[in-house]
Amino acid sequence: MDTLSRAGGGKRHAMLDLEYSSHLLRLLAEPTRLRLLLLLGHESLTVAELTSVTQLTQSRISTHLARLREAGLVLDEGVAGSNRYRVDAKRWPHDLLPLWNLLSERVDDAQIAQDRERAAEIVRRRSLRGSWAESVAGRMERQYSPGRTWEAVSRSIIECVEFGNVLDIGSGDGLLAELLCARCQRFTCLDLSPAVIEAARQRLAPYPNVDFKVGDMHALPFAEAAFDQVFMLHGLSYSADPAQALAEAGRVLRPGGRVVVATIARHEHAATVAAYDHVNLGFTPDEIADWLAGAGLVIRDCDERARERHPPYFRLITASADKR
């Protein structure tokens, strides 16, 4: 039984009690949920269509829809092989209707107006659509499809690559090694934490070509020119001296080898990253490029490549450089 059915002891025309009223107001106080509610009061839409209209992620929309559905504020129904959501205010308690009428008729907002225009266009084009792929063309990466994940893409691309002797600086518990080691001659995990290295050792026990080392990225315990490729994925967030860390990466790289770096761009979210033990607030692409060049490396690429879709919207720098 949904929340609306329980309100007032299950009587549709009963007065709303304090507990339910408070719950309802908390639901409506969240801007995204209110936005979805007003949109679904206007058109019946699928999750994919809501994603297209709002430009929000599918997971975020699904989470909010679950809350609204649990409260009985939206219904879902199968139509033409898809699951569409809608608002049916006639099913709501009678005393809730004045609030809904106020919201649906009096809210005058540019975002809501734009949502409704996009929704109307989607509804108009429904009859012209064919396959699922055609319906999400142009925004396919934002949609869920069984088996279509970034991990699947990554694992497929890796099958086309051959690595030599690889070092992963700041390896953590060995995720990168698990992805790449089958395509490597040797793969070495290095991390400052003995506990983390032990977790990597257990995780990668089935792979005989993986080595483990506890060590500091600023003073790598390896000889010069020991590796064909060096990865430093997010390790710089834990570096108080990033220029020295990248100089060490260059030192242990063989001539013709490559360093690959991924790190967070400069930001102002100290409180957020403190929980993850970061010791700096990110970098600029120019800083990363200068440090790589200072390590005697030739820059292939260094720029901001991605932006996270959730607050605080961290930006990601990726860089690669070769040793002469």
Q: Which pLDDT tens digit goes with each residue over 141-194?
A: 655 667 777 788 888 999 999 999 999 999 999 999 999 999 999 999 999 999
| Angstrom distance (rounded) from CA 48 to CA 45 | 8
**Residue recorded with tokens 């504020």:** 73
Given a cut of 50, is residue 8 above it in pLDDT?
no
* pLDDT (average), residues 123-129: 67
- Return the exposure string of 73-86: e unless at least 16 CB atoms fall within 10 Å of the residue's CB, then b: bbbeeeeeeeebbe
- How many Å is the maximal CA-CA distance in the chain? 80
Using one digit for the tens of pLDDT, what is the confidence trace for 69-110? 888 888 888 776 678 888 887 777 777 777 777 877 777 778
If you write DSSP's letter for every residue of 55-66 in order, what string do you get? ---HHHHHHHHH
pLDDT at residue 119 greater than cutoff 70: yes
The CA-atom distances, in angstroms, between 286 and each of 237, 282, 295 are: 16, 12, 14
Report the candidate in 232, 240, 323 with the shortest Cα–Cα distance to residue 278: 240
Q: What is the DSSP secondary structure assignment for residue 119, as one 8-state letter?
A: H
For the record, the structure tokens of 26 come out as 């908390």
| Full set of structural domains in the chain with CATH | 3-142 (1.10.10.10), 150-323 (3.40.50.150)
Least confident of 36-45, 119-128, 135-144: 135-144
Cβ within 8 Å of residue 189, ≥6 positions away: 168, 171, 174, 177, 197, 200, 204, 210, 211, 212, 213
**Of 100 and 268, more confident:** 268
End-to-end CA distance of the chain: 69
pLDDT tens column, 223-258: 999 999 999 999 999 999 999 999 999 999 999 999
Distance of CA 231 to the CA centre of its chain: 21
Element (H, E) at 258: strand 253-264
d(CA 224, CA 267) in angstroms, rounded, equals 34
pLDDT at 11: 40
Evaluate if residue 4 carries a pLDDT over 60: no
Q: How many CB atoms lie within 10 A of CB 309?
A: 12
- CB atoms < 10 A from the CB of 152, how many? 10
Q: In residues, how long is the chain?
A: 324
Say if pTM beats, i.e. exceeds, 0.75. no
Alpha-carbon span 85 to 157, nearest angstrom:
37
* Amino acid of residue 269: H
